[in-house]
Amino acid sequence: MQKMRTLKSKTEAKWGLILIAPTIIGLLILNFYPIISTIYLSLCKTGDFGIGNKFIGYDNYITLFQDKEVFHSLINTFKYTIIEVPFSIVISLILASLLNHNIFGRTSYRTIYFLPMICAPAAVAMVWRWMFNQDFGLLNMIFRSNVAWVTDPNIAWICVAIVGVWSSIGYNMVLLIGALQDIPRDYYEAATIDGASAIKSFFHITIPMLLPMLFFIILTGVIGALQLFDLPYMIINRSSRAFSDVQTITYLFYTYSFEHSNRGYGATIVIFMLLIIGIITYGIQKLEKKWCSV
């Protein structure tokens, strides 16, 4: 009997391995191999036409830490992240709380707010580029002004962040609405009986119950913001005097890898960003474990 159980267990394990083999192979080919290849490429000087790479050790990393443009682009990326992530979450939370109630036209409002998520990023960027145009843009026509929205270095990065906030509100709102609907109504009824106002219930019931979802949105939002590429690329011309103040670290990687054909240095920038995102992700997850376990 014991031998039959052992044989059955081995058979199940074998078939289980066979069934998950395609997934394992896919992960190895599509995820792990590119990572290892990128790490190796960051230690090389790229040859012509992507062949004949020369191993140079840590020279690319030494150059990176001495490159002011890298850290300037990194600061631009952080500036965008600091605006886009908090504002999009706050606005999404307010909208989700309002649309979670049984109000007239609730489904229509949800659809309207989610529309930016199903629009092509290039189309969104081009529409906002027209709206920000200094000569014939919609914003200057409405306000009867002549503001250089995307050519003034002082406000260009704020304009890019505004587009990012507008684009991400719908997605965050849908996630938060789903989380709000999972909160038992008994909590709010008990709070009402105890004399708690709607504002107190929001901060003492809604926010604590939403913390896991909020941390998920923060984590994915930060990772997405740190990888920003399309908005600065599409909204602002490279000849603009404001471009250096909105150039992100991902765009810098694109410049070196595909315009300068220096894929070794581009890979070094990618590894650098991977480390930064990993550190930030670890910090957010530690905060989540601390706050959500209280």
Q: Express each pLDDT in 122-159 by its tens digit.
A: 888 888 988 998 888 888 898 888 888 888 888 898 99
Choose among 71, 64, 47: nearest CA to 263: 47
Give the H or E element holding residue 54: strand 54-55
Percent of the chain residues past pLDDT 90, beyond the cut = 39
8 Å CB contact between 253 and 274: no
Choose among 95, 93, 88, 89: nearest CA to 110: 95
**DSSP H stretches of helix in the chain:** 2-27, 33-41, 59-65, 68-99, 106-118, 121-132, 138-143, 156-181, 185-193, 198-201, 207-226, 230-235, 249-254, 263-292
pLDDT of 67: 92
Angle between helices 263-292 and 68-99 (to 10 degrees): 40
pLDDT of 192: 86
pLDDT of 217: 95
Domain ranges of the chain: 2-41, 67-292
Rounded mean pLDDT of 193-197?
A: 83
Rounded mean pLDDT of 111-121?
A: 83
pLDDT of 49: 58
pLDDT of 101: 80
Per DSSP, the residues of 58-96 read THHHHHHHT-HHHHHHHHHHHHHHHHHHHHHHHHHHHHH
State the Cα–Cα distance between residues 113 and 115, nearest whole angstrom: 6
pLDDT of 220: 94
pLDDT of 80: 93
pLDDT of 47: 65
Q: 67-292: which CATH number, 1.10.3720.10, 3.30.450.40, 3.40.50.10860, 1.10.150.530?
A: 1.10.3720.10
pLDDT of 223: 94
Specify the amino acid at residue 101: H
Specify the amino acid at residue 114: F
8 Å CB contact between 191 and 204: yes
Which DSSP state fits 153?
Answer: T
Rounded to the nearest 5°, which phi and psi values hold at 14?
A: -65, -45
Give pLDDT tens digits for 70-113. Answer: 999 999 999 999 999 999 999 999 999 888 887 777 788 888 88
Whether the pLDDT of residue 51 is over 70: the answer is: no
Whether the pLDDT of residue 17 is over 60: the answer is: yes
The rounded mean pLDDT for the chain is 87
Specify the amino acid at residue 118: I
Whether the pLDDT of residue 171 is over 80: the answer is: yes
pLDDT greater at residue 65 or residue 185: 65
8 Å CB contact between 157 and 76: yes
Helix, strand or coil for residue 198?
A: helix
Choose among 33, 67, 40, 65: nearest CA to 55: 40
pLDDT of 268: 95
8 Å CB contact between 191 and 200: yes
pLDDT greater at residue 61 or residue 21: 61
pLDDT of 64: 94
